[in-house]
Structure 1
Amino acid sequence: MGRVLILHTGGTIGCRASSEGHKPDPEFARLLRRRLADSGEPELPEFDVIELHTLIDSANLTPAHWAQIAGLLVIHWQDYDGFLVLHGTDTMAYSAAALSFMLPGQDKPVIFTGSQIPLSERRSDGLDNVINGLHLCQRPGLAEVCIYFNGRLLRGNRTTKLKATELDAFASPNHPPLGVAGIRLEPEPDLLLPPTPLCFRIPEFDPEAVTVLSLYPGISARAARALLDDEGVRGAVMLSFGVGNPPDANTELMQVLAAAVERGQVIVNRTHCLYGKVDQGTYATGNSLNRIGVTPGGDLTLEAAFAKLHYLLAMETDPGRVRELMRRPLRGEMSA
């Protein structure tokens, strides 16, 4: 029987109702132990619980929190067989993606989970997520960052939050689930990343380094310039139409994008669509982005594209190197 570290970072699972809305429950660790003990679940691994000194409402997440979470896991890496990270659902996919890049050499599982209903409430989905997450944390051969939620094990950097209130909040649009809970919960071996020699790379993030530029019908060059003409911005995830098409008839907008690339900003093109991938050569409009040096983002989720670009810009100084690595799968986050 293995030993698991539960890292409570915040989120709905650890809240309790109050007159001002849900607030962190100061007795959450005790409640969690009691609910697990009363569950009657056999063969749960031994576990310890630690909490961040200041819990994170996931809407307040910053890139610095990614480094904080990863750093705590690395400190305890040799002491446990797996790690269960309790996290708010709103930005869970961002954090799971970011950690997948900061733990490029991994020999044990890191499972993110949480809940849509606090554990303190009768109908909470949190207990099931925690129980199955604990079992997955001692699963042989599982050595990557995942999200387990509502019966499905998903690759962390392939996951996005699709639903605000339903219990099946998460999906992996362009990659099959790594496992689905039934009578058994067995990950699909052929879908898993192989264990790799230990390697941890936790940079210092600049929260202003990456922005998101969402294209919409009638977008002005002025709107794009307001985001990109900032000396602190080193990269942008651009959300375009279909297979990666911009409104290239807006020549002033295209000039703004070209100027940004020319001064060394890395612009990664990701489609608004959840399913499918960017192919900048399919249409002439998309090919215009190839000519000015915009980087195609393939089938990256928004969360993975944002986290990967942040990570690479924190690790690399050469924009050309960042563009090269953005197009290459590093931790199973995109199709080759």
Structure 2
Amino acid sequence: MSGRILMLHTGGTIGMERSPQGYRPMTRFSAIVPQHMATLSGLPDYDLIELAPLIDSANLLPSHWARIARTLRTHWNQYDGFVILHGTDTLAWTASALSFMFQSADRPIILTGAQIPLLEPRSDALANLGTALILASSPANRGVTIFFGGVLLQGNRSTKSSSTDFQAFSSPNAAPLARAGISLPSQLPAPPTGPMPNTHIDTLDDHAVTVLTVYPGLCATQIEALTQAPALRGLILCSYGTGNLPDADPSLLQALARAVESGIVVVNRTQCAQGSVVHGTYATSSTLERIGIISASDMTLEAAFAKLHILLALHRDPQQVRVQFRIPLCGEMS
């Protein structure tokens, strides 16, 4: 290996500039970054490449994850670490997906970005990018992580929790891996290991998984309309508390049971930022277990969504997906 870091620019606020219509991607970003990075000392050597076309964070699709993964695999043996520049809106979703696609990564894959574009006053871009590069050059740091706002987080335990703060990401059910103060930590926690090697997935079906938030008044016809989509193979329910759904209307649970019987993998995740789904705490959640709905434990929505997508791409048998989903693959749940 060359001892260099590959910086992969996928899009996002960090590489945007002002226009009459608002921020838009700048065309000369790859030339501007080295000029700004030259103002910092002590950085490792790096190369910068850009995806073409760039991805607007809000337009991210699961199929983009396969595209990013292919780019990393193409350059894997040429670099000691990777820094991915990504739009903040869906950065945690991509970090979660890559964690399942690179479960046994022996080098760092660090995602970062900015709340304010690189060229704007008070931009947080250089601080995030400079530290991410240094962390990516450390042999003590492996696996998929997020560095943002001075904090290093496990990628598949993270979520965007603020649209305005420089510390935009948090890890509700897991402690941060490290905080960057005056000095950087020299000993980071060992990365979680999974039972499967790096997963080569060439394509992902953008429409295979959907999400339904449970709310007062949810009825069976709405579930049936959602689960009759031809491409749908997975459904994530965002339920109340420890995994509760309304059970006063039997037709609602019957609609979910029919979805499971049809081969749709249904996952139950709490709406709460902190805590876990525990089937059996209340009678309503016990019913879900009986009809074949599986618990997401304390996974973030991003991790549950990405994990379900990856497993559905690997397995045609819904029961095999259900079995694998319950197993912690790379530290995504407690």
User: 1:9 maps to what in 2?
Assistant: 10
- 1:224, distance to aligned residue in structure 2 (A): 1.3
User: 1:31 maps to what in 2?
Assistant: 32
- Take 2:93 and 2:22, find their aligned partners in 1: how far apart are those partners? 24
Q: Deviations over 1:88-135 (max 9, x none)?
A: 000001111101111122110000000000001121001000000000
Is the 1:13–1:115 Cα contact (8 Å) retained in structure 2? yes
Is the 2:193–2:331 Cα contact (8 Å) retained in structure 1? no
- Take 2:44 and 2:109, find their aligned partners in 1: how far apart are those partners? 15
- Take 2:143 and 2:185, find their aligned partners in 1: how far apart are those partners? 15
- 1:189, distance to aligned residue in structure 2 (A): 3.4
Q: Do the aligned partners of residues 311 and 4 (structure 1) sit closer, same or farther apart at CA in structure 2, a change above 3 Å counting?
A: same
Tell me the TM-score normalised to structure 1 length: 0.96
Is the 1:107–1:197 Cα contact (8 Å) retained in structure 2? no
- Take 1:256 and 1:57, find their aligned partners in 2: how far apart are those partners? 36
Is the 2:3–2:45 Cα contact (8 Å) retained in structure 1? yes
Percent of aligned positions with the same letter in both sequences?
Answer: 50
User: 1:108 maps to what in 2?
Assistant: 107
Equivalent position SS for 1:289: helix
Is the 1:143–1:194 Cα contact (8 Å) retained in structure 2? no
Q: In terms of mean alpha carbon deviation, does 103-112 or 7-16 score higher? A: 103-112
User: 1:193 maps to what in 2?
Assistant: 192
User: 2:173 maps to what in 1?
Assistant: 174
User: 2:130 maps to what in 1?
Assistant: 131
User: 1:310 maps to what in 2?
Assistant: 309
- Aligned-residue CA RMSD in angstroms? 1.6
Q: Equivalences for 1:25-174 in 2 at 5 Å? A: 25-39=26-40, 41=41, 43-174=42-173
Is the 1:13–1:116 Cα contact (8 Å) retained in structure 2? yes
Equivalent position SS for 1:189: coil
Query: Structure 1, unaligned stretches of length 5 or more?
Result: none
Is the 2:103–2:194 Cα contact (8 Å) retained in structure 1? no
Q: Do the aligned partners of residues 227 and 189 (structure 1) sit closer, same or farther apart at CA in structure 2, a change above 3 Å counting?
A: same
Tell me the TM-score normalised to structure 2 length: 0.96
Q: Deviations over 1:146-176 (max 9, x none)?
A: 0100000001110001111221110000000
Is the 1:268–1:296 Cα contact (8 Å) retained in structure 2? yes
User: 1:246 maps to what in 2?
Assistant: 245
Is the 2:116–2:125 Cα contact (8 Å) retained in structure 1? yes
Q: Deviations over 1:256-287 (max 9, x none)?
A: 10000111110010000010000011111111
Equivalent position SS for 2:185: coil
Q: Does 1:212 align with 2:211?
A: yes
Number of residue pairs the alignment of both structures matches:
333
> Which amino acid is 1:90 matched to?
D
- Take 1:227 and 1:186, find their aligned partners in 2: how far apart are those partners? 47
Q: Does 1:282 align with 2:281?
A: yes
> Which amino acid is 2:206 matched to?
P
